[in-house]
Amino acid sequence: MVAMPHPTAAKPAATRKDVARLAGVSSAVVSYVVNGGPKKVSPATEAKVRDAIAALGYRPNAAARALKLGSSEMLGMVVPDATNSFFATLAHAVEEAAAERGYALLIANSGGSLSAERRQVENLVSRRVDGVFLCSVLFEPDLRDLEAAEIPAVLLNHSAESPGFDSVGVALQDGARLAVEHLAQHGHRKIGLIMGTNTGGDLDAREVGWRQGIEEAGLQAGPVMRGPFSREGGYRAGKWLLNEADRPTAVFASSDLQAVGLLKACHEAGVRVPEDLAVVSFDGSAEAEYSWPPLTTVAQPVEDMARAAVEALVGGGGHKRNRIFPGTLIRRASCGC
Amino acid sequence: MVAMPHPTAAKPAATRKDVARLAGVSSAVVSYVVNGGPKKVSPATEAKVRDAIAALGYRPNAAARALKLGSSEMLGMVVPDATNSFFATLAHAVEEAAAERGYALLIANSGGSLSAERRQVENLVSRRVDGVFLCSVLFEPDLRDLEAAEIPAVLLNHSAESPGFDSVGVALQDGARLAVEHLAQHGHRKIGLIMGTNTGGDLDAREVGWRQGIEEAGLQAGPVMRGPFSREGGYRAGKWLLNEADRPTAVFASSDLQAVGLLKACHEAGVRVPEDLAVVSFDGSAEAEYSWPPLTTVAQPVEDMARAAVEALVGGGGHKRNRIFPGTLIRRASCGC
DNA sequence: TTGAAAGCGCTAACAT
DNA sequence: ATGTTAGCGCTTTCAA
């Protein structure tokens, strides 16, 4: 507690009962006016109740409500790293969409570790969230805890058709293909790849898309460098790539963050972008607009995805389905445009 | 995995009573083993209870617990913008520190608007969080809602001695002075300022520190440009500054984000950093390390601040106090080092 | 239109 | 060492 010079000693927060007493009605009536139902209340009584509520500064107790209703009116979201601006933006958008429907959002970080992810999910389960958005490190996450607790889940940032899962994501493969296509149109013949590594070790669809784009352009695959989805990861990958004997003239990076790291490696090495090396990346985060040069990137429709995810979770809609949104190429300077 | 068409229809989640029945004990005993107290339980019974818990997949109901205990074991945090990497990092650090003590963190965005801030605080109050971290848009926020609800608060990112408030922040003024001092040591005689605007309209201590640094170096104040604490804000400020008749040779920016915007303006204008314009900024966020050139910046000790804030809120410590941490100058290339 | 009352699942004081 | 039980504040059925 809290060093308080409160002259009015700790009055223990008004309950619905206090309001009822003050308004001279039963506690049920208070409930009716607070919740606008399920019964009607005469305008006169309603006014009295509202006055009493205001006078007492009454606020419904969310815990009691949650207990009674079996719903916490909270949603959970687990992301690998809320510090990554893409996930930060996504979480923010989800938060807003959830708030519109009266839900609060509990955000948990897994740090990209499977065990932490499980722990966070368990934590959310025990807090009785009404649903969870899972940006899993795994391609096919283990949802048993959630199923056992009957908590609906939607895989966010999941971009494959996975019957049995509810998911929303972006078309990774198409997006990557788009990026490579664009680079090919700029005349590049040797296009490398800086690819983020997934914990699960599955093949990322962006890699498939990159390869597809290259094949469709009748080119040969450039060098591939793998590393974490981070600035640091991109930087290391960049250093390696620039020292390669057959250095590509263009690179597709699987995230903006990695591209930012790559850019740093280029600047340090005196490699000019886009003249010596063209770059296109993925995500469309704000940071990409302010790097130098500004990054051409395949933007994810974050707002739409967030809305769709919330809709899937609490929209009451029926069946599980996979919603996949298209990415859009944003042309800036790094590709040579 | 686990697409399974639930043959077992919705069994309604085991309660402590079910566990008790299965274990052949009373529900109190279950409570004792789950919470490790307040009474002792014989090893034999404990084992039975644990088995039953496992068999039933029992999880305590947090809402019921919160209702009984009057504590939700959640903390709230309201930030202007969780998408801003400084706040994202801070929130993340707070989340971790809170988790160590068994608290979950509910993060809410105010978008820098006072009304939204109030709304978010109200929301947290009604969710009965056990405490809130407030990165207010105001210098002296209105804590009445929180006080009325007897919810302790700590002002985070608040850097003045404010008796009556519990706060933790960084020494803005000293940090800014440090930055300017450093620029002066590099020989700069005309040092401008890109200053973020606070909603409250109060004078930011960074501005005071900038002025102080200039005076201590025996210089004249350079031009000042104000705008939002954002990349965009820094960019606009930068464009203006670079077109000034008496363009400074160095600039202190009140946040890394603004400096990133400034850098973009410089690149576009062909102004070389640090040769034509040296830059030092504030925050020490990850983005500053990967800009080009990398930003010399006054880093906030985010982890320490987060820990201190959590400590202040739930450490049980007694009195209100203002904890102010020193910033540290990180020398990178943008200042000319 | 309003009221009385039965719980939701849990904790802990009190009884055994 | 273990059991019984009163309530935490709320919603909602049922009765008036």
pLDDT tens across A49-69, in order? 898 888 888 889 898 999 899
pLDDT tens across A113-155, in order? 889 999 899 889 888 899 999 999 888 888 888 887 888 999 9
In this model, does residue A4 exceed pLDDT 80? no
Confidence of residue B129 (pLDDT cuts 50, 70, 90): very high
Contact A149 B13 (CB under 8 A): yes
CA distance to partner chain B, nearest, from residue A193 (Å)? 20
- How confident is the model at residue A214, as a pLDDT? 97
Q: Which of the 8 DSSP states describes residue B194?
A: E
Confidence of residue A5 (pLDDT cuts 50, 70, 90): very low
Q: How far is CA B216 from CA A120, B209, B220, B221, in A?
A: 51, 10, 10, 11
- How confident is the model at residue A317, as a pLDDT? 66
Q: How far is CA A163 from CA A132, A142, A305, B48, B175, in A?
A: 18, 14, 19, 39, 55
pLDDT tens across A249-284, in order? 999 999 999 999 999 999 999 999 999 999 999 999
| Distance, CA of B91 to CA of B78 (rounded, Å) | 9
**Predicted TM-score of the model (pTM):** 0.89
Q: Which of A143, A231, A267 sits opposite B286 (nearest CB)?
A: A231
| CA/C1' separation A100–D13 (Å) | 31
- How confident is the model at residue A178, as a pLDDT? 97
Q: Which of B3, B128, B263 sits opposite A163 (nearest CB)?
A: B3
Mutate to test the interface with B, among A107, A147, A151 (most CBs of B within 10 A): A107
Nearest to B168 by CA among B314, B282, B305: B305
> Which residues 96-155 on chain A approach chain B with CB closer than 8 angstroms?
96, 104-109, 123, 125-128, 140, 142-144, 147-150
Tally Cβ neighbours within 10 Å of residue B196: 21
- How confident is the model at residue B11, as a pLDDT? 62
- How confident is the model at residue A1, as a pLDDT? 38
> Which residues 292-321 on chain B approach chain A with CB closer than 8 angstroms?
292-294, 318-320
Q: Which residue is nearest to nucleotide D5 (CA to C1')?
A: B28
Confidence of residue A318 (pLDDT cuts 50, 70, 90): low
- How confident is the model at residue B4, as a pLDDT? 37
pLDDT tens across B3-28, in order? 333 334 456 678 888 888 888 898 88
- How confident is the model at residue A292, as a pLDDT? 93
pLDDT tens across B233-266, in order? 999 999 999 998 889 999 999 999 999 999 999 9
pLDDT tens across B260-319, in order? 999 999 999 999 999 999 999 999 999 999 999 999 999 999 999 999 999 999 887 667
> Which residues 204-223 on chain B approach chain A with CB closer than 8 angstroms?
none
Query: Which residue in B has a C-alpha nearest to residue A140's C-alpha?
Result: B1
Average pLDDT on A201-209 reads 90
Inter-chain CB pairs, A–B, below 8 Å: 145
Q: How far is CA B320 from CA A8, A45, A198, B152, in A?
A: 19, 43, 45, 10
Residues 6+ apart with CB under 8 A from A151: A124, A125, A129, A130, A131, A132
Helix (H) or strand (E) holding A108, with range, is: strand A104-109
Is the peptide bond between A293 and the residue preceding it cis, with omega within 30 degrees of 0?
yes
The SS3 assignment for A8 reads coil
Nucleotides of D under 7 A from a protein CB: 1-5, 7-14
Contact A294 B319 (CB under 8 A): no
Q: What percent of chain A has pLDDT over 90?
A: 59
Query: Which residue in B has a C-alpha nearest to residue A291's C-alpha?
Result: B291
Q: Which residue is nearest to nucleotide C1 (CA to C1')?
A: A41
In this model, does residue B179 exceed pLDDT 90? yes
| Distance, CA of B54 to CA of A223 (rounded, Å) | 50
Packed helices B256-269 and B85-100: angle between N→C axes, nearest 10 degrees: 150
The SS3 assignment for A317 reads coil
| Distance, CA of A165 to CA of A320 (rounded, Å) | 6
Contact A147 B2 (CB under 8 A): yes
Under a CB-based contact definition with an 8 Å cutoff, are residues A259 and A321 in contact?
no
Residues 6+ apart with CB under 8 A from A199: A112, A113, A114, A137, A138
Contact A294 B235 (CB under 8 A): no
Inform me whether the C-beta atom of residue B272 falls under 8 Å from chain A C-beta atoms. Answer: no
Confidence of residue B39 (pLDDT cuts 50, 70, 90): confident
- How confident is the model at residue A11, as a pLDDT? 63
Q: Please list every residue in chain A whose beta carbon sits closer than 8 Å to the beta carbon of residue B290.
A: 231, 235, 260-261, 263-264
| Distance, CA of A222 to CA of A214 (rounded, Å) | 9
Nearest to B105 by CA among B156, B142, B176, B181: B156
- How confident is the model at residue A189, as a pLDDT? 95
User: Mean pLDDT in chain A?
Assistant: 90
Confidence of residue A9 (pLDDT cuts 50, 70, 90): very low
Contact B292 A59 (CB under 8 A): no
| CB burial readout B57-83, b (16+ within 10 A) else e | ebbbbbbbbbbeeeebbbbbbbbbbbb
Contact B290 A231 (CB under 8 A): yes
Q: Which of B104, B108, B263 sits opposite A123 (nearest CB)?
A: B104
In one-letter notation, the amino acid at residue A222 is G
Using DSSP bridges, classify how beta strands B190-196 and B220-227 pair: parallel, antiparallel or unpaired. parallel
Q: Which residue is nearest to nucleotide C12 (CA to C1')?
A: B38
Average pLDDT on B132-141 reads 89
| Distance, CA of B52 to CA of B54 (rounded, Å) | 5
- How confident is the model at residue A78, as a pLDDT? 95
pLDDT tens across A100-124, in order? 998 999 999 998 888 999 989 988 9
Using DSSP bridges, classify how beta strands A74-79 and A104-109 pair: parallel, antiparallel or unpaired. parallel
Under a CB-based contact definition with an 8 Å cutoff, are residues A135 and A120 in contact?
no
Packed helices A16-23 and A27-35: angle between N→C axes, nearest 10 degrees: 110
Q: Would you call B318 exposed, middle or buried from its count of C-beta atoms within 10 A (0-12, 13-18, 19+)?
A: exposed
| Strands across the sheet containing B328-330 | B220-227, B190-196, B250-253, B278-283, B296-299, B328-330
pLDDT tens across B203-232, in order? 899 999 999 999 999 999 999 999 999 999
| Distance, CA of B71 to CA of B316 (rounded, Å) | 14
Under a CB-based contact definition with an 8 Å cutoff, are residues A199 and A137 in contact?
yes
- How confident is the model at residue B332, as a pLDDT? 97
| Distance, CA of A263 to CA of A260 (rounded, Å) | 5
Q: Which of A108, A126, A291 sits opposite B62 (nearest CB)?
A: A126
Inform me whether the C-beta atom of residue A51 falls under 8 Å from chain B C-beta atoms. Answer: no
Nearest to B266 by CA among B284, B279, B256: B279
B269: region left, alpha or beta (phi > 0 left; psi from -120 to 50 alpha): alpha
Residues 6+ apart with CB under 8 A from A270: none
Residues 6+ apart with CB under 8 A from B122: B145
CA distance to partner chain A, nearest, from residue B127 (Å)? 5
Nearest to A280 by CA among A224, A336, A207: A336
Q: Which of the 8 DSSP states describes residue B294?
A: P
Inform me whether the C-beta atom of residue B9 falls under 8 Å from chain A C-beta atoms. Answer: no
In this model, does residue A10 exceed pLDDT 70? no
> Which residues 233-252 on chain A approach chain B with CB closer than 8 angstroms?
235
- How confident is the model at residue B1, as a pLDDT? 36
Least confident of A101-110, A167-176, A304-313, B316-325: B316-325
Q: Which residue is nearest to nucleotide D9 (CA to C1')?
A: A64
Q: How far is CA B335 from CA B86, B211, B262, B296, in A?
A: 21, 18, 13, 6
Q: What percent of chain B has pLDDT over 90?
A: 59
Query: Which residue in A has a C-alpha nearest to residue B153's C-alpha?
Result: A2
Residue B18: nearest nucleotide (C-alpha to C1'): C9
